Chains A and B, each alone.
Chain A
Amino acid sequence: MAANYDYEEAPGTYDDVNRQDLGYDPNFVPDSVKSFVVHLYRHIREKNVYEIHQMYEISFQTLSNRLFKDTPWPSVDAVAHYVDNDQVFCLLYREMWFRHLYARLSPTLKQRIDSWDNYCSLFQVVLHRVVNMQLPNQWLWDMVDEFVYQFQSFCQYRAKMKNKTEQEIALLRQFDQAWNVYGVLNYLQAFVEKSNIIQILEQEKDGGEQFTATDGYDYSGGSNVLKVLGYFSMVGLLRVHCLLGDYQTGLKCLLPIDISQQGVYTSVIGSHIATIYHYGFANLMMRRYVEAIREFNKILLYIYKIKQFHEKSPQYEQILKKNEQMYALLAICLSLCPQAKLVEETVNSQLREKYGEKMSRMQRYDDEAFAIYDELFSYACPKFITPSAPSFEEPLVNYNQDAYRLQLKLFLYEVKQQQLLSGVRTFLKVYSTISLGKLANYMEVDEPTLRSILFTYKHKTHAVDSDGKIISNADLDFYIDDDMIHVVESKPVKRYGDYFLRQIVKFEGMITDMDRIKLE
């Protein structure tokens, strides 16, 4: 089994509230930080979304790089009096504080628990009080994204029971509600429901609501926070369900978002990538390979074009990582479902470069092939979790790999079932008709076995889509008449209708432009 899956983390050290031996003073507030919080607080009060965004994206990163490379930001207690002890601002500050900690350092168990408490307080405020802020979509996405990430991280951490200290176990027992799966799912669900986002998206279609058109922002004096959190929570739910291995429900949670169009999910690059990555992965596990290929192709082409503009952004590394993972998933999909014409030229050449050799080996379906499927899957899959609380009675074991092992095992099982299909395709490509007897001979199997292989081919290449309809994924197909196989190659259909429509619209545009010139 591939070793690169293991979630790495320094062993958590239990430290108490004093933090005296940490080598820094959490109460020391440099002037630049004082200035930062004062200005950020003012911009939030005055709803200057652009300024908030600049400070959040750029200033925070700059200060982190300069002053807090490997120490946390000053504690919230130290900065509170600069911002009128405003409760909501302090919750927001703490959220950023913990996010910085997770990114640069290793959180202790106590810190993980405190972060959970902070999210609970922050989410309660948004859900139950009237919040009068407008925050940038980037920030709101990061909140949901980080929330799910910290949940995933906690499950991984908790599942490694073997080397836990007495104090850690005591804390886990005491705070057994921290990061419990029900809490996480129910908060995300609460955002979706309370924000009414599903109805808003529905009504938007006939012009009854304005949401996507304003990028989620509220220009009538209200707040965008609940609505946009509700929107991003749908992506959050997709992500959590993928971590649990429930792909069907995950996709269902995403359904209100139309991914064939631009939307608020594309307004933040991180959200766009996370959505498509999980959507594609879920479709892959549900054997809807064509759908996965289509979406991976689109996003990989998009990333290729825009990544240069994100080189300075704090998300750049993540963008690159997800890019590589999706190429691996695309390689898997195309090996299981050869549909080369669905892939754009640019994406295809990148794919050949990264995985060309591996893909040809994967299609051989021998032991080496399975090792490559294993390797690519392990590299690219989400960090699956076991959501239930550990048992403290048994001999303490590490079970953090269990969920991943199960998903991998079932995936490879599916690959194995498709083992003989590659051989059949080679023959179907060469013949237009061939008798069952002859083909059985060439493939060195008896006729009943050949029939099974052909049934498997038909079954595996005809997926059931989300509406229950059968759709064919096969680029190469056949039918049998008594004992004669007739091969049918689906030629790429020239889409005349589409072409004419586009030309009509284009020429109309040109004529309109020419008319305008005459008038002037």
Chain B
Amino acid sequence: MGRETPKQQQQVSYTVEQLVAVNPYNPDILSDLENYVNEQVSSQTYSLEANLCLLRLYQFEPDRVSTQIVARILVKALMAMPAPDFNLCLFLIPERVQMEEQFKALIILSHYLETGRFRQFWDEAAKSRHVVEAVPGFEQAIQTYAIHVLSLTYQKIPRSVLAEAINIEGLSLDKFLEHQAANNGWILEKGQGQLIVLPRNEFNHPELKKSAADTVPLELITRIFPILG
């Protein structure tokens, strides 16, 4: 897999996506889909559709299940939060498979993220290093999710709360904040509180939401053009 040139890799994923679109109910594509999971992991890409297709085929052929591949699919799904992909995958995995230790650990991680328990999440993730560190980009993806939840909730957030949520402290956190201030519009307030002002959006600034509610879609207006004319 590592020997393939980037161009060849692109060809493989194009073919897999086509297979999923055109011929998904076919056990012959199972190993292609498994390879594709590994490719998603190594090239930091993601395809929910292809992974669901594979989990379905595993349902149809239970003796061909590779728990390692399933674990990788679940880690990738976790990285897609806030999308409900992790749950969508669990719906397709038989209960007795979910009872295995590595899956129990992943379910606990998902639970902590779903219920905003970031500190517990990072503690638990440290214990499952072998699973999560096998997937590059995991840490950044979860940090992105954490920031997403914080942005829904806070207009101004204390530094300590942010630090706990994204698991970055000290000098690394300083660098991180500088980067966000320079590129994403974060404002670092001076003073004792060490407050960070997050970018305005319709979720942490409700007044922004109201203005969008009364728009009328263009196609409805076109209905009265003949009358106005």
Contact = CB atoms under 8 A, between A and B. Distances in A.
Instruction: Say whether A and B bind each other.
Output: yes
Interface of A: 181-182, 185-186, 189, 244-249, 252, 285-287, 386-388, 402, 405-407, 409-410, 414, 417, 448, 451-456, 458-460, 462, 464, 468, 470, 472, 477, 479-483, 488, 490, 493-498, 501, 504-505, 508
Interface of B: 24-27, 48-49, 52-53, 55-56, 59-62, 82-84, 87-88, 90-92, 94-95, 111, 114-119, 149-150, 152-158, 161, 193, 195, 202-206, 209-210, 213-216, 220-221, 223-224, 227
Contacts of A387: 59-60
Nearest to B116: A455
Contacts of B161: 451
Contacts of B157: 480, 482
Contacts of B155: 479-481
9 contacts: A409-B95, A410-B91, A451-B116, A455-B118, A482-B157, A490-B206, A493-B213, A497-B215, A505-B223
Given A479-B155, A483-B158, A452 B115 contact: yes
Contacts of A245: 91-92
Contact of B227 (A246, A248, A504): A504
B216 A182 contact: no
B116 to A, nearest CB: 3
Contacts of B25: 181-182, 185-186, 189
A450 to B, nearest CB: 10
A407 B91 contact: yes
Given A181-B60, A189-B25, A508-B227, A470 B203 contact: yes
A456 B116 contact: yes
Among A287, A409, A482, max chain B CB count under 10 A is at A482
Contacts of A287: 84, 87
Chain A, interface SS category: helix
A406 B91 contact: yes
B90 A410 contact: yes
B206 A479 contact: yes
Contacts of B205: 479
B156 A247 contact: no
Q: What are the 3 tightest A-B residue pairs by CB atom distance, in nearest-first order?
A: A455-B116, A497-B216, A245-B91
Among B62, B117, B153, B213, max chain A CB count under 10 A is at B153
Nearest to B98: A406
B59 A468 contact: no
A414 B61 contact: no
Contacts of B90: 410
A252 B50 CA distance: 13
B92 A402 contact: no
Given A248-B48, A459-B116, A462-B82, 7 more contacts: A246-B55, A402-B95, A405-B95, A410-B90, A479-B204, A495-B214, A501-B224
